[in-house]
Amino acid sequence: MQPTEKLSKLGIVLPLAPDAAGLYKPVLLEQNLLYFSGHLPLQVDGSMVTGKLGANFSTEEGKDAARLVGLNILASVKTHLGSIDRIERVVKLLGMVNAVDSYTEHPLVINGCSELFKEIWGEDLGVGVRSAFGVSGLPGGGRRRNRGPFKNKRIVKGNMLMLFAGVGLFFLLIFYFHPHILAGYARFFEVSNAEKGADAIICLSGGKFTRVPESIRLWSEGYGREIFLTQEKSSNAKFSHLNLSNLEFAKAVSSEIKKMINWKILPNLEGGATSTFDEATDALRYAKKNKWKRLIIVTDHFHTRRALCAFEKVFKGSGILVQVAGVGNDIYKAENWWKSDRGILAYLSETIKYPIYLLWDAEPEVVSNH
């Protein structure tokens, strides 16, 4: 329940905020602390309760006057902040009681104000630290005077400024350190763990100009006994004969560099693979049939993490180890990918695709290959 609702429930009506009686501010907000000057027991009609405790007023009457001082404090707070709902808690209360020298019940008098604040903000937030002592006199002969600070709730405007400052700092850091940040981001998608002696090297479809030469190099250096190409489904079967197939291109490159290589195609039962999950399924079928223990897939650097993710999901429980080797190109790399359209397309595409591969154990049903 908000403090204003508590006041209404208690049937309390705040008096008009008192004017300053000298050269001072009745209330001052400094950061998130709201300080209030000394207040007196002014009644709703503007008259002040006067007297001296221990002489012509009892402790109970003094306590009532202290509560009245508390109401005047709240009136000043409301005038300054617009609402007492912006007060988060009571921090400190200093009470001065107009009393004779022999009077000793100053704390009981100050309880009048403390209990008011407790009723409004509760046992914890409504009770702060406190001091109470007697004085020989107060302005106008008032019985009691209070001063101290409240803790003000943080203003939304201040939070917004901090938010904008944080966003500005973030973009400033990006501006100055973007080469390192963006390069590190790209390297997250790159994995390379291929070791020599695998049963086979499988060149994945999609980038034959880079993947085929790298597959030949790995095969020549003993990374795999056999070398394969995946069977890719044509995006336009009517004119596919006008373009070199993966196998034709691989044989042409082998001939160009004078390498005698027995290229093989991983068979596909559906006329060609349309995703890395499809290629992994084809590879698993063939690997089981030929009792492979380990294979290496070859793809572009930016595609290695996602490709390995798909193969490991498909090969899970088969006992066949899958490793990956990445290859670069002449246009972009991790250190400058954001400077070319192709690089941006490649790494931003992985940003979308990799989480999808990570979440599904097979090709997502929401993706259609027809």
| Sequential DSSP letters for 155-214 | PHHHHHHHHHHHHHHHHHHHHHHHHHHHHHHHHHT------S-EEEEEE-TT-HHHHHHH
Same domain, 197 and 114: no
Q: How high is the pLDDT of residue 159?
A: 57
Same domain, 224 and 302: yes
| pLDDT surpassing 90 at residue 133 | no
Determine the Cα–Cα distance for residues 261 and 251; give it in Å rounded to an integer: 8
Strand partners, 90: 150
| pLDDT surpassing 80 at residue 163 | no
Q: How high is the pLDDT of residue 170?
A: 79
The arithmetic mean of pLDDT across residues 254-275, rounded, is 89
How long, in residues, is the chain? Answer: 370
Same domain, 127 and 9: yes
Determine the Cα–Cα distance for residues 17 and 247; give it in Å rounded to an integer: 90
Q: Name the strand (E) or helix (H) holding 71.
A: helix 59-81
Q: How high is the pLDDT of residue 48?
A: 87
Determine the Cα–Cα distance for residues 351 and 340; give it in Å rounded to an integer: 17
- Residue 164, number of CB atoms within 10 A of its CB: 10
Residue 171 maps to a domain:
no
Same domain, 218 and 345: yes
Same domain, 152 and 201: no
| pLDDT surpassing 90 at residue 202 | yes
Q: Which of 271, 269, 268, 280 is nearest to 360 (CA)?
A: 280
At a CB cut-off of 8 Å and minimum separation 6, what does 151 contact?
32, 33, 34, 87, 88, 89, 90, 91
| Helix pair 59-81, 106-125: axis angle to 10 deg | 40
**Cut 0.85: pTM above it:** no
Of the pLDDT bands very low, low, confident and very high (cuts 50, 70, 90), residue 230 is very high
Same domain, 352 and 302: yes
Q: Where are the beta strands (DSSP E) in the chain?
A: 27-30, 33-39, 87-90, 92-98, 129-135, 144-152, 198-203, 224-230, 264-266, 294-300, 321-327
The arithmetic mean of pLDDT across residues 1-10, rounded, is 89
Higher pLDDT, 117 or 176: 117
Residue 199 maps to a domain:
yes
Residue 183 maps to a domain:
no
Q: Which of 334, 12, 361 is nearest to 182 (CA)?
A: 334
Q: Which of 213, 206, 232, 230 is nearest to 303 (CA)?
A: 206
Determine the Cα–Cα distance for residues 145 and 96; give it in Å rounded to an integer: 5
Give 346-360 pLDDT, tens digit per residue: 999 999 999 988 887
Same domain, 143 and 216: no
Give me 265's structure tokens: 């195609």
Domain with 260, as residue range(s), is 188-359
The arithmetic mean of pLDDT across residues 39-67, rounded, is 88
Q: How high is the pLDDT of residue 236?
A: 63
311 close to 280: Cβ distance less than 8 angstroms: yes
| pLDDT surpassing 70 at residue 91 | yes
Scan for tokens 């899958």, then name that residue: 322
Rg over CA atoms, the chain: 40
Least confident of 67-71, 84-88, 270-274: 270-274
Residue 333 maps to a domain:
yes
Of the pLDDT bands very low, low, confident and very high (cuts 50, 70, 90), residue 18 is confident
Residue 138: give its domain's CATH number. 3.30.1330.40
At a CB cut-off of 8 Å and minimum separation 6, what does 227 contact?
200, 201, 203, 215, 216, 219, 261, 262, 263, 264
- Number of folded domains in the chain? 2
Residue 326: give its domain's CATH number. 3.40.50.1980
Determine the Cα–Cα distance for residues 306 and 277; give it in Å rounded to an integer: 10
Share of the chain above pLDDT 90, in %: 48
Determine the Cα–Cα distance for residues 206 and 349; give it in Å rounded to an integer: 14
| pLDDT surpassing 50 at residue 4 | yes
| pLDDT surpassing 90 at residue 364 | no
Q: What is the overall mean pLDDT for the chain?
A: 86
